[in-house]
Amino acid sequence: EQIEKGGYEHFMLKEIYEQPRAIQDTYRGRLLRDEAIIKMAGVEDNMKKFLNADRIIIVACGTSWHAGLVAEYIFEEFSRIPVEVEYASEFRYRNPIITEKDIVIAISQSGETADTLAAVKLAKEKGAFVFGVCNVVGSSIARETHAGAYTHAGPEIGVASTKAFTTQITVLSLMALRLARAKGTMSSSVFRMYLQELELIPQKVEQLLSVNEHVKEISKKYLLSTNCLYLGRGYNFPVALEGALKLKEISYIHAEGYPAAEMKHGPIALIDDRMPVIVIATSKGHYEKVVSNIQEIKSRKGKIIAIVTEGDTTVKEIADHVIEIPDSEEAFSPLLTTIPLQLLSYHIAVMRNCNVDQPRNLAKSVTVE
């Protein structure tokens, strides 16, 4: 096992560090920048279906559901297709309205999650075209779906999902870009710009991983917290949910993710000097509005850990801690903002002596209901 961990203390840390490579492996052979095209066999072979689709319904569980939420923003923005994101467990039991003009995308790292598999079967019965985004090759969901695209993340051993999440977002971004070109909802110059941006992500993640020690220092201050709030907006709202889930899963600290603007409708009542609030405040994502949320937290004495774009000066003056991420197009920022949140949960959990790779009561793949 020590050999498999490749010198890292835990699989989770190894998998966090594998992300630059995993993201690259996921777009390799698909993103052809010189030719300015995206090639994905599963999409290409079924292009007619995608072009005729009235909407996309994404079904998934856990972290994969969060990747689906990020994809909702990306698909709608890039390809102008209405997207609904559903918990597979809810979808399968509520007699959903599905037609032959719907495309159902099932996202699952393992490809074995019972609820997601059941949702796939139901969607097929109702005549939808079902597309799988799985990591495990030959898994049940990969086999049950009409077509699909694998994330090439490599085996993920840590129960808390890390590189599966970022590679799912990568595959779904490629799909959204491909469809945007096919539908004509994105100009070729903007398309080229996004291809270039996506290709830069692995090296930005690599650079970002150097915040590890800084995040570890911050973690020391919060390891005894009992509650934690995560806020983000737009593309980074699902990242706030994922950050909170990660902390819950491995450190057993109660955490909630919220869209930043919803804070005033509830969570603000919880804020006092013992409440750490992690805020994603990237420069291109509704920045001013998030800054005013940060001020509201500050005036209630909440402790602020802000994820900001490098070079930020405004938030630095207000927040207790800032973690800088490289600049990028906002749509791809979840691939960056997620990384420090993974590290934060990891360090807090290690310092609390939790079993990071195998947290209590959780399973890597939930094959029963």
Using the Cα atoms of residue 200, residue 341, residue 161 and residue 17 in order, give the sign of their dihedral. Answer: positive
Q: Which of 157, 167, 169 is nearest to 364 (CA)?
A: 157
* Residue whose CB is nearest to ligand G6P in the complex, by number: 62
Contact 113, 61 (CB under 8 A): yes
Burial of 311 (0-12, 13-18, 19+ CB in 10 A): exposed
131 or 191: whose CB is closer to ligand G6P?
Answer: 131
Using the Cα atoms of residue 268, residue 269, residue 272 and residue 277 in order, give the sign of their dihedral. Answer: negative
116 or 145: whose CB is closer to ligand G6P?
Answer: 116
Residue 130 contacts by C-beta under 8 Å, 6 or more apart in sequence?
Answer: 103, 104, 105, 106, 120, 123, 124, 144, 145, 146
Q: How far is the CB of 168 from ligand G6P (least distance, A)?
A: 8
98 or 117: whose CB is closer to ligand G6P?
Answer: 117
Q: How far is the CB of 161 from ligand G6P (least distance, A)?
A: 4
First to last CA, the chain: 30
Which of the residues 121, 124, 221, 364 is marked catalytic?
364
Pairing of strands 276-281, 303-309: parallel
Q: How far is the CB of 199 from ligand G6P (least distance, A)?
A: 26
109 or 282: whose CB is closer to ligand G6P?
Answer: 109
Looking up tokens 């993974």 gives 342
Q: How far is the CB of 108 from ligand G6P (least distance, A)?
A: 3
Q: Which two tokens stand for residue 319?
A: 């927040």
Q: Where do contacts with ligand G6P occur on this chain (CB under 6 A)?
A: 61-64, 108-110, 113, 116, 159-161, 362, 364-366
Question: Is 289 tagged catalytic?
Answer: no
249 or 312: whose CB is closer to ligand G6P?
Answer: 249
Q: How far is the CB of 291 from ligand G6P (least distance, A)?
A: 32
- Name residue 87's beta-bridge partners: 60
Q: Give the Å distances, CA to CA, from 76 to 70, 85, 240.
A: 10, 12, 20
Residues that are catalytic: 364
